Amino acid sequence: MTLLLFSVSTVFSQEVFRNTKPDTTIENEKIIIVDINTIKEKVIDKDVQFVDIRTPKEYNDGYIDDAINISIADKEKFIAAFEKLNKEQPVYIYCYSGWRSNRAAKLLVSLGFNKIYDFKGGYKVWSEHPKR
């Protein structure tokens, strides 16, 4: 039974990998994990909902492009601020490394957002990348 489950899981994983662009991972149909290339191509200098979910201090120390700051540290304020955004439009989010944005993306799904792009690696990857 375990071997069968492993085999089915492996085949499914390989199929998802083949049908997914290398710079994205689909976590579920509403959350798409993206890399720095997607951020550069689809977000920078574009009119999109782009949110830095780090703390205000982290944000003030540096942020990407024209991202607005909605910190996930205060869940009530986070929810209230996101309720003002357009749930039908894509929203791009990032944190420092990707852990908080992954949690935030799941929360955004529960709030009714339909397309959440989660920048894997976040500000850490952005700040380390030589050609921003």
pLDDT in tens, the chain (132 residues): 444 333 333 333 333 333 434 455 666 789 999 999 999 999 999 999 999 999 999 999 999 999 999 999 999 999 999 999 999 999 999 999 999 999 999 999 999 999 999 999 999 999 998 765
Q: Which domain holds residue 117?
A: 23-128
pLDDT for 41 equals 97
Which of 44, 39, 16 shows the shortest CA–CA distance to 101? 39
pLDDT for 131 equals 66
Q: What is the CATH number of the domain that holds 84?
A: 3.40.250.10
User: What single-letter amino acid sits at 100?
Assistant: R
Which of 117, 119, 101 shows the shortest CA–CA distance to 35? 119
Report yes or no on 7 lying in a domain.
no
Report yes or no on 78 lying in a domain.
yes
Is 106 exposed, middle or buried, given 0-12, 13-18 or 19+ CB atoms closer than 10 A?
middle
Number of domains in the chain: 1
